[in-house]
Structure 1
Amino acid sequence: MTPKIKSAWAASLTFIFTALVTIFREFEIGYVNGIWFIWLFWCWNYFAYAFDRGMLPSTFIELDGGGKGNPSWRAGAFWITALVHFAFLATMAFAD
């Protein structure tokens, strides 16, 4: 599976689960805006993993494309981001 396909799957699944959480849970409007802001922030990491360009900010090793970044660190950051995102969604879905 190529990085572009992994990235598309991760972004799609997190989008679907984020939409489900916001539909089926009753949150104040500030929380709903926050959930979608967090989704956009983390999707940048999925995009950076898929395309590996000379992206900014280059201070993050997973975004330091153009062959300068460490591919294993990029993959680790991708999977850790996906796990943290799903853990966050689970917390928002099941917490009182």
Structure 2
Amino acid sequence: MKLTVKGLQTLKGMGYINLVVPVPLSEEEEINKIDPEKQYVVEVKQWRKGRSNDANKYAWVIMPKDSRKAVRRELSQQGRCLQEGNPGMWLRQNMASAN
């Protein structure tokens, strides 16, 4: 389950802090599946709005032409590797070329 929420609260106890997360009622079924005996991974990070389409268009305009080609080439390679079922290949190739 992944949520974007507002209004996190902390409750301090003896030697620990509880994090209270307000969850919409629409997620009740998922919440009821939580087993208190199991261990879960919880990540809390501040939400930030991504770049708008206008910002992306502007970035492509001001980016030098050779950089645009390199980005397109890398995205193309990434797409081929994903289609081949090996997404790690693209990462390994680019990490090796960066060294």
TM-score by length of 2: 0.29
Structure exhibiting the larger radius of gyration computed from Cα positions: 2
Q: Which protein has greater RCO, CA pairs closer than 8 Å, 6+ apart?
A: 1
The structure whose residues are more often strand, as a share, is 2
TM-score by length of 1: 0.30
